[in-house]
Structure 1
Amino acid sequence: MTDDYASIDVDALEAAVDDLDATLTGVQTLISPLERDFERLGVDMSNLRKLLDAQEDLEELIPELRERHRLARQLLSEYSSHPALGGGTVVGFTGDLVDDLDLVHRADVNESIELLQDAGVIDEYATVLHREWISWTLQSGLSPEDMVERAIQEGVDQNTFDILHDVTLWRTPDGRPYGRIENADDAEAIARAIELLNGGEPSLSDERRDANSWSYSTMFGMGNGDAGLVLNNGGALVATPEGILMAAPGPKSLDVIPNTVDLFSLRGGTMWGEIFVLNGSHDDPASVLEDTITDGVPPPGSGAPSLERLLRHERVHAEQWARLGYTRFIWEYVTNGPNNPCEHPLEIEAGLADGGYTCTCGNSCVP
């Protein structure tokens, strides 16, 4: 007996999951004050419990659908690379799209939730973003038993991901979330939350962010630093899984003069403190970032093998900015031959291959 054949419209599934996610956010926003008021006034809770049950069902369903969408997107990318199958957004498959390993992973997520609830880290209802944080953190190599310690280390509680409730999340083909920043006041908080959501440890990168604080605020906290500069000049900004930001400069002035932020970027992009600035002035900078992320490819002009590896390279540059300080980093970069990255000590430290540099010395390049 052969497995049943089935198909999924990848774009329709993504739209449906986004709609469910929006519904869940609405339910969560509605239920919390109602629950308090019902208990205070002694109102019958039977109808409210139906909403609570619906909330719990959605919180279990949405991560599974996200995983099915990720796997379907993977299949679609394989289709598009095959001349006989490319085109369209529908993929076909036999059997279940989610295999036994995924079932084991979901069991680990549920076990982690129970342990976190027992430890008082989260309450009776784990949000979708808590579940996603657990999932990515487990995939980084932790076990369910490690999750409580990680939660305590990172200060995770029931409200940790509230900062992301109104944030637009763009996802790579494998489902990694990036968070769009539209208000510079929230930039640092969103950067920490997105790093955490992806299984990272923002508590270990806080020292770097503090050293590069000029990316988020000017002296005495009177401005929003370079994050504000990007947004105030019509650019777009997104928080990445590496805990750094990625920016696309806005449009030219008078259709001729490069955007102010574009003046600070060369080649495939330039790292300034905590912000990786793409090259070029863009009429629709948000779409440039969204396309880069959802396609999972490096931005135009970059020779990096993948967006993930490019951002890993740029995160090392952020660490260099923090270690050397503003003036010394610029001095070290300019005086060590910026036009010859294969022999540049800062580029070698950041990883030449990750940065997209092709060098004859290969992995043996030394400063």
Structure 2
Amino acid sequence: MGIFNYFTQEIAIDLGTANFLILHEDKIVVDEPSIVAFNRSSGKVLAIGRKAMQMEGKVHEDIRIVRPLKDGVIADFHAAEHMLKGMLQLINKSKKPLFPSFRMVICVPCGITEVEKRAIRDSAEILGAREVYLIHEPIAAAVGIGLDVQGSTGHMIIDIGGGTTEIAVLALSGIVCDQSIRVAGDDFDAEIVDYMRQQHNLLIGLPTAEKIKLAVGAALTELSQPPADFAIRGRDLISGLPKQVQVSYSGIAHCLDRSLAKIEDAILATLEITPPELSADIHQSGIFLSGGGALLRGLAQRISSKTKLPTHVVDDPLRAVVRGTGIALKNIGQYRFLMR
């Protein structure tokens, strides 16, 4: 057995509904969409991550596209296992045979159940994890942007991901009050699909809706620096022929209003149950936005207008959670909020 290497690797994982990120040795080594493509007849994995995403909406009957996570938790255990395995293999590119065991810190939503926690732990252990720790997403985001979560000063974090929006008030290494709602980036995409069908008689897929969201997605119908209209192609519902239309940011802001209103209501509900001493801290420091949804144009202004509190989009919001998860991994003995 001398030809084999056995060793332990420490990795931090942001197991997101939309994106899967792995941090190893202080570097983000994997940043891929959370999606897998299977051959229907053989069950063989054809592609994971970006390659599988390129197939979405274009496959024939022999290919099955699966998103293993829904609302921030594992919905398809088999597909999640294959996705985890494929992503972990991207870390080890040595020519020697390697049989690593892993110490993992994985971030999870606040509203996760014990059954859902067990599903994540089981998936990790099947793939060689000797130690598995879980960390709630808002705490990971707060650590990732440099906030002192162990002190007595309160902080409010809103993490808008692909499947869930996590709203939490943090102090003394814990979550004092929180709301976890299943309204987030995936719902934005679905609403854009409906909007294009109703307003333009154009049928598009979710990947195209994602492109529209990135190009002209907005939370306000009036912006000081508006993006240019975006040309999008799809199938005309009346003629059945391909056609192209121009999409404006104001139209997208109007179609996203219902989902954003639900997020605003959850923020207000969380503020209403926040202890008064922590409310005073939040009034001074404001609200911090992380996650891909934080990049929606005008969202910080909209939330600030609704709550009358300063609202900040953190630096590199897409990676704030995985950065915080990595810091927690390096300080496992110090952080009491890690769940074993």
Choose 1 or 2 for highest CA Rg. 1
Q: Which has the higher contact order (CA 8 A, sep 6+)?
A: 2
- Give TM-score scaled by structure 2 length: 0.28
Q: Which has the higher helix share?
A: 1
- Give TM-score scaled by structure 1 length: 0.26
